[in-house]
Amino acid sequence: MQNAHQSALTAKHMKLDQQISSEAQRPLPDQMLIAQLKKEKLRLKEELGR
């Protein structure tokens, strides 16, 4: 059960990484959105570390 949970968290982490990357590539990136996505990504990373 734990592995499925970790896999889901890893998938979300990778998706957030892609969203941050694509937002940063836009001509006028939304810095607030990027900051929000990075916070969520960090939270997931901390949860994965447990």
Residue-wise pLDDT for 1-50, tens only, equals: 578 888 999 999 999 999 999 999 999 999 999 999 999 999 999 998 88
CA distance 12 to 7: 9
Per the structure, how many domains does the chain have? 1
Where in the sequence is the domain holding 9, given as residue range(s)? 2-49
pLDDT of residue 20: 96
pTM of the full predicted structure?
0.82
Two structure tokens written together for 31: 């810095």
